[in-house]
Structure 1
Amino acid sequence: MATKPMTKTQLVAALAEEMGEDKKTAGKALDAITDVITREVSNGGAVTLPGVGKIYCRERPERMVRNPATGEQIKKDADKVVKMTIAKALKDSVNG
């Protein structure tokens, strides 16, 4: 079941076929979507992709972590992490 993930080239080709357009147009569309998502999430917003999920940024508080090599406790500063919640429709299509 462990298959390689689809590459950008394969994704652009599949998108072009689905859209009925050439690969150059599909590549520009994919790049535009990526740019919009990146800009919105990095500014603290969220983007919902219907049928796929919601991509958002969450702040993590300052916390203590452990260095696995030495076992030493280290204080890690607060940071932000990108999260994605998968849509129910996608979960159901995978499981059903």
Structure 2
Amino acid sequence: MCRKNIMIKSSLVQTISDNNPHLYQRDVENIVNAILDEITEALARGDRVELRGFGAFSVKNRNPRVGRNPRTGERVEVEEKWVPFFKTGKDLRDRLNAD
């Protein structure tokens, strides 16, 4: 399946506003920002964020390793880092794979 549409935060806010005409767009924007900020803060604390039916956000540790510069082939030390990880929920997977 080829997906060509991209939803960015402003289009998410617009879609929610369009579907809820009783809400002001600036209030919807504040709500979306509050949700995303809270998810970000929870991940920064090392917490897991689970949205039932949608998925779970967590952080995973990547150990230090030796990588290669793709341009020169030179060995490069890559430091340990924490990366965000998202695992889809069953309902989302089922909906994406529905015929």
Q: Same fold (TM over 0.5)?
A: yes
Tell me, in whole angstroms, the C-alpha distance in 2 between the residues paired with 1:50 and 1:17: 24
73, 76, 88: which is aligned to 1:74? 76
Identity in percent? 28
Tell me, in whole angstroms, the C-alpha distance in 1 between the residues paired with 2:75 and 2:36: 37
3-state SS, counterpart of residue 34 of structure 2: helix
Query: Comparing 11-20 with 31-40, which one deviates more in the overlay?
Result: 11-20
How far 1:78 sits from its partner (Å)? 0.7
Tell me the C-alpha RMSD between the 2 structures: 1.4
Which ranges in structure 1 are unaligned for 5 or more consecutive residues?
none
TM-score (norm: length of structure 1): 0.89
Structure 1 stretches of 4+ moved >2 Å: 16-20
Aligned to 1:6: 7
How far 1:16 sits from its partner (Å)? 2.2
Which ranges in structure 2 are unaligned for 5 or more consecutive residues?
none
Tell me, in whole angstroms, the C-alpha distance in 2 between the residues paired with 1:85 and 1:66: 29
Query: Comparing 59-68 with 1-10, which one deviates more in the overlay?
Result: 1-10
Aligned to 2:30: 28
TM-score (norm: length of structure 2): 0.87
